[in-house]
Structure 1
Amino acid sequence: MQFLNTLAFARQLDYKDSLAKYRDKFFYPQTNGKDVIYFTGNSLGLQPKNAQEYVNEVMKDWADLAVEGHFYANKPWWDYHERLATPLAKVVGAKTEEVSVMNTLTVNLHLLLVSFYRPTKKRFKIICEEKAFPSDQYMLQSQVRFHGLDEEEAIVEIKKRQGEHFWRTEDVISKIEEIGDELALVLIGGVNYYNGQVFDMESVTASGKRVGAYVGWDLAHAAGNVELKLHDWDVDFAAWCSYKYMNSGPGNASGFFVHERYLNKKDIPRFEGWWGTKKETRFLMKREFEPMENADAWQLSNAPILSVAPYLASLQLFEEVGMHALLEKQKLLTSYLEFILEEIDKQVESSFEIITPKERGCQLSVFLHGEGRSLFDYLMKNGVITDWREPNVIRLAPTPFYCSFEDMFRFGEILKAGILSK
């Protein structure tokens, strides 16, 4: 498609957009009396308007039924989280029994590593990407220390090539093959938070499995954003937060995946709790742990219903739209934003460098050569909610649920005005 940097062209794209109506299903912050252009769905998604209805339903059941809400609410609390499994499985490319919801992201990664990081004297090394999201770095460092290992020796970071802003798949696979039978675990962010790169999860997973390592993925920036086929790719485990592209609310409950080969096993190492034991015998208060036959076996405590409710509300929208439609719009919307950036770059003295490779989801990370924090501040004051990362990068995430093509055009006009106003 030949793009044009005009308001009329942007509105024509919106007119043809089958998902345009979903903008009205979200609340928008306002600046100067107008809805903002919201580019930070990669940090916190907008609130779906149906979320309040789901939370209010739980509050009413609590008021009317108190403890009996566990069994007699319209959506009984004791199995509330199970309603998320089927729609979540569609989002991440899994079987329903392979996914569940509990805790928050880093907590879940720690719990999953009880099962999937079992270092031995020979096989103890972990591969991750250079400068992974800090929480992943802290988690891995503390895991290897917990096992009495030296983090400098145990953690191997895949580096970018000199002068490049992205990782090459062949470098990741080469390092996996080099470490070979010393490798215990590959754990990488499926979409890098900084540059927005989507890793070749299928190829990396296959490579890790060939040398006998477990392979897991932190999908914080991937779930609800890019195509995932966790079951078919033979991924061992994964976890993701729900508050970015999945719009469930700040700090909300985390989803996780465990491949079916590890389900319904009593002998797998894991930390266990009451809510992971079989529903049929849970309230018999038996001494013996009988694991649920699905991923719920990794649950420890009963689900935080007030957190899970808005997640279920958001998943209703994912069910209506489907990942295929979201991905189709995402590709077109992000390409149009890229075009707008390139057009503005021709019109001003500053030079923009998009450091996000073509393997991407919604996010474009833009290096602002010749500009600084003042341009970011200008954008924020003029109704563009974006994200700043040191030393000089803004992250733009045009999410397909609630961003429009007109937003992309108007952003370009505000960006140009901010540069020319200096």
Structure 2
Amino acid sequence: MLVGGFAAAVAVGTVLLSLPVATETGERTHLVDAVFTATSAVCVTGLVTVDTAGHWSTFGEVTILVLIQAGGLGIMTLATLLAVLVSRRLRLRTRLLAQMETKTLSMRGMRRVVRNIVLFSLAVEAVVAAVLAAVFLTVHDRPLGASLYDAVFHAVSAFNNAGFSLNSDSLMGYVDDPRVCLPIAAAVVVGGLGFPVVFELARGWRRPRSWSVLTRITVVLTSVLLVLGTVVITSAEYTNPRTLGPLDTSGKWLAGFFASVMSRTAGFNSIDTSAQVPESLLATDVLMFIGGGSAGTAGGIKVTTFGLLAFVLWAEMRGEPGVQVGRRRVPESNQRQALAIVLLSVGGVALATFNLLVLTSYSLDQVLFEAISAFATVGLSTGITGDLPPAGKVLLTVLMFVGRLGPLTVASALALRDRARRYELPEERTIVG
């Protein structure tokens, strides 16, 4: 159902973006580009094969915005909301689907959970849009209509970690403007934390000892990765004349912080990504692959998966019989899920990188960056997306779709049924390493 819901949204978006009215010139967009853009919007990625501002008309831009919002909230979450409004009650199947999409651990109060998700999303987007509109109107002297339109578009794109921008150079024109960069970065972080974490923090942010394992791992690792990413990227690019070199000290740290936040699957860029040095590109690869929080609008393998495997490694090094986070024991099923997600993700990125190397003449750095960006639904690019051959674009489209739903979800959806085994085989240990 989840795979089918997202596929249906991509199909509808493709049809709408293929209409002549969706482009500035009135000509039909090539099918591959329409499918790519629709998938990128629904999967809240942000990779583009055509210039968003120059190619699409207002109708096309609004279509992309609606697809971003639908993909961010989740097709099944919107379907659950519709069921609540129409029938005033939830059936068990609908509640189960909503539970899968929102990653809630309890089935109680699903109607309230879905309502809070929608209201919270719209509230954050409205606040960020209001701030951006005021900045565009008063500081940058833009007309009222254009300020409101750009503010709403970028607010929705930022909260949903999509990275679509109405500027041909994304946000490079605001590289040293904290009044634009910081509200967008805040929306990205809040959207990427995940709805369960946000709701738990709202209820008990003063009592960190009572936080769940999910919230502890998400908050701690998000903070650590943001700081490390800022330091590494800023240090690596500090003297690069094509990125941070021309900026003053405060502008450099702002741009480095913004790049660190956007690497967590947002996709906006305030510096030229293609001009970054190999060290910062590698750091960005790592940050993109890890991604944001579970059940949020971010992609990647998620910080909870990465953090859980770190605790598994720590427990194994200490010879502990089980994995503990704080005063909680993590079940083995969670550990196997985390391991499966990481291995499937690594395999998917490696396979896609190999095929892109075969299909194109670009370097390994560029191709690997593009593959991770698509799979982790980030949207950052070294500038090669639009120049890829049709087969390469199709490959990235598949990567975005699989990356948004999650390797484990897709694998489960492809299985016809669960297989129950009513016996256990004799145990035999093997040499590892």
Under a length normalisation based on structure 1, what TM-score does the superposition of the two structures give?
0.30
Q: Which of the two has greater helix per residue?
A: 2
Under a length normalisation based on structure 2, what TM-score does the superposition of the two structures give?
0.29
* Structure (1 or 2) with the larger CA radius of gyration: 1
Q: Which of the two has greater strand per residue?
A: 1
